[in-house]
Amino acid sequence: MAVIAGNWKMHMGAAQTRAFFAELDLDESASKNELLIFPPVSSLGVAAACPDRDSRIQLGVQNIHWQDGGAFTGETSAAMAAEAGASHVLIGHSERRHVFGETNEEVALKIAACCSHGLVPVVCVGETLSQRQEGRVDEVILGQLDAALQALEGNDGRFLLAYEPVWAIGTGETATPDDAANAHSTLRTRLEAALGLAAAVRRPILYGGSVKPSNAADLLGAANVDGVLVGGASLDPRSFAEIAAAGGR
Active-site hit among 34, 93, 95, 242: 93
Q: Is 33 left (phi over 0), alpha (psi -120 to 50) or beta?
A: beta
Q: What is the C-alpha separation between 222 and 167, in angstroms, rounded?
A: 19
Q: Which string of DSSP letters, residue by residue, matches the chain?
A: --EEEEE--S---HHHHHHHHHH----GGGGGSEEEEE--HHHHHHHHH-TTS-TTEEEEES--BSSSSSS-TT--BHHHHHHTT--EEEES-HHHHHTS---HHHHHHHHHHHHHTT-EEEEEE---HHHHHTT-HHHHHHHHHHHHHHHHTT--S--EEEE--GGGSSSS----HHHHHHHHHHHHHHHHHHH-HHHHTTS-EEEESS--HHHHHHHHTSTT--EEEESGGGGSHHHHHHHHHHTT-
Of 34, 95, 127, 164, catalytic:
164
The answer to whether residue 117 is catalytic is no
**153 carries an active-site annotation:** no
How many other CB atoms are there within 10 angstroms of residue 29's CB atom? 13
- Report whether 46 contacts 76 (CB < 8 A): no
Pick from 15, 57, 18, 65: nearest CA to 38: 57
Q: Which residues are catalytic?
A: 93, 164
